[in-house]
Amino acid sequence: MKSAITELLGIEYPIFQGGMAWIAESTLAAAVSNAGGLGIIAGGSAPIDYLRDQIRRCKSLTDKPFGVNIMLMSPNAEELAQLVIDEKVPVVTTGAGNPGKFMAAWKEAGVKVVPVVPSVALAVRMERAGADAVIAEGTESGGHIGENTTMCLVPQVVDAVSIPVIAAGGIADGRGVAASFMLGAQGVQVGTRFLAADECQIHPTYKELVVKAKDTDSVVTGRYTGHPCRNVRTKFAKKLASGEKDGSLTPDEFEQLTLGSLRKAVQDGNLEEGSFLCGAIAGMIKEVKPAKDIIEEMFAQADKLLGK
Ligand code: TUI
């Protein structure tokens, strides 16, 4: 399926795998890239040596383009931003902030830059700063989220910029892909569906939670800290949500409880203290399968719906 995004990046399908912190590593990214999408390794707040190693592993597993996500709230975002230049990573996506101060260096090095934007205003600023495309991410997404929905945000961003727009948030099958194209997007970013990919290295308990989730099983916690986050509604997430609602947890106490909680979910499957980030579409995911099958089935369905 061709679009401005497949042309821009030299990929077969206009799909990015979300750069999920602690989750998106080289095995998953290479599987997605080998299947014709754009696999993405998450920088998160990882040490530079870990990310360098992951980038090199990915290069050894695929000769297709792949990307790295720079999470801008990370204390070491600056050195990770330089690492992608040194390692000649073809594509960078960014999240959780404005990447303006890194843009010139990335562009000069020939890196394609695709920031995640939660608003029209940031999309316009990113286009002016030289972004190659933007990912308009709705509040249906997992993890750290903005307020606007995919359905409302994507067409408004499409109307406001001339660069290609990638839709994210709530997309997990060909219907979501087709709908995104109807909204004017030139591609999609998919995170939660790839949690249930064979190649995704998360703890089996995490995959099971995603596959068993119903439509009502995601919850947003932490709005009062300024970092709202969508997770699976586990006992731990319910405790956080009620502590936030009834005031029994101060924002500082909340931050203390959630510090390191994503690692505890991803590596240990710890239901007592782990934050299992997921998008609102988790309820639609019923099966663990290879990334290649996920992508091929998604685009076969989308092609049919779009009359291709
Ligand atoms: O970044 C994400 N999702 C994430 S990051 C993450 S790890 C984390 N740890 C601690 C605190 C926060 C996050 C887990 N999930 N998605 C992309 C995304 N970017 N969502 C929202 C935004 C965003 C928000 C504000 C992008 C730009 C922005 O700009 C504000 C400004 O400075 O103009």
The tokens describing 83, both together, are: 């690492």
Q: Which numbered atom of ligand 1 lies nearest the CA of 98?
A: 32
Residues in contact with 86: Cβ distance below 8 Å, sequence separation at least 6, in sequence order: none
Residue 112 has pLDDT above 90, yes or no: yes
Residue 24: which pLDDT band, with cuts at 50, 70 and 90? very high
- Give 241-254 pLDDT, tens digit per residue: 999 999 999 999 99
Q: Is the CB of 143 under 6 A from ligand 1?
A: yes
Per-residue pLDDT of 251-285, as tens digits, reads: 999 999 999 999 999 999 999 999 999 999 999 99
d(CA 108, CA 117) in angstroms, rounded, equals 22
The finding on whether 184 has its CB within 6 A of some atom of ligand 1 is no
User: Which pLDDT score, from 0 to 100, does residue 50 have?
Assistant: 98
* Residue 10 in tokens: 């030299």
Classified as helix, coil or strand, 140 is coil
pLDDT tens, residue by residue, 79-103: 999 999 999 999 999 999 999 999 9
CB-CB contact of 139 with 168 (8 Å): no
How do residues 30-44 score in pLDDT, each as one tens digit?
999 999 999 999 999
Share of the chain above pLDDT 90, in %: 99
Question: Sign (positive/negative) of CA torsion 160, 161, 164, 165?
Answer: negative
Q: Which residue has its alpha carbon closest to ligand 1 atom 14?
A: 143
Structural contact between residues 129 and 110, judged by C-beta atoms closer than 8 angstroms = no
Average pLDDT of the residues of the chain = 98
116 Cβ inside 6 Å of ligand 1: yes
Say which amino acid occupies 268.
D
- Computed over its alpha carbons, how large is the radius of gyration of the chain? 18
Number of residues written out for the chain: 308
Closest residue to atom 28 of ligand 1, CA basis: 97
Cα torsion 45, 49, 52, 56 to 10°: value is: -130
Instruction: Please state the rounded mean pLDDT for residues 284-297.
Output: 98
Q: Does residue 146's CB lie within 6 angstroms of at least one atom of ligand 1? A: yes
Q: What is the pLDDT of residues 127-145, one digit of tens each?
A: 999 999 999 999 999 999 9
Token pair for residue 164? Answer: 């290609």
Torsion of CA 135, 194, 19, 266, to 10 degrees: 140
Nearest-atom index, ligand 1, CA of 72: 1
Q: For the chain, first and last CA: distance in Å? A: 9
What pLDDT was estimated at residue 130?
97
CA distance 69 to 50: 14
Q: Which pLDDT value is given to residue 93?
A: 98
What pLDDT is stored for residue 215 in this prediction?
98
Q: Are strands 143-144 and 229-232 parallel, antiparallel or unpaired?
A: antiparallel
Sheet strands (E) in 87-228: 91-95, 112-117, 134-137, 143-144, 165-168, 187-190, 218-221
What is residue 308's predicted lDDT score, i.e. its pLDDT? Answer: 80
Is the overall model pTM greater than 0.95, yes or no? yes
Q: In whole angstroms, what is the distance from residue 228 CA to residue 68 CA?
A: 23
> Distances from the Cα of 79 to the Cαs of 114, 160, 190, in angstroms?
18, 32, 27
Q: What is the number of the ligand 1 atom nearest to the C-alpha of 69? A: 1
Q: What is the dihedral of CA 57, 192, 238, 220, to 10 degrees?
A: 110
Helix or strand or coil: residue 13?
coil
What SS3 state is found at 151?
A: helix
pLDDT digits (tens, 9 = 90+) for 219-236: 999 999 999 999 999 999
Domains of the chain: 4-200+284-307 (3.20.20.70), 214-277 (no CATH)
Place of tokens 């961003």: 157
Distance CA 110, CA 106 (A): 6
Q: What percentage of the chain reaches a pLDDT higher than 70?
A: 100
| Minimal-distance CA residue to ligand 1 atom 23 | 96
**For position 5, what pLDDT does the model report?**
98
Q: CA-CA distances (angstroms) from residue 171 to 7, 59, 106, 197, 299?
A: 22, 28, 29, 15, 12
CB-based contact 19:69 (threshold 8 Å): yes
pLDDT of residue 1: 87
Least Cα distance to 80 among 58, 110, 55 occurs for 55
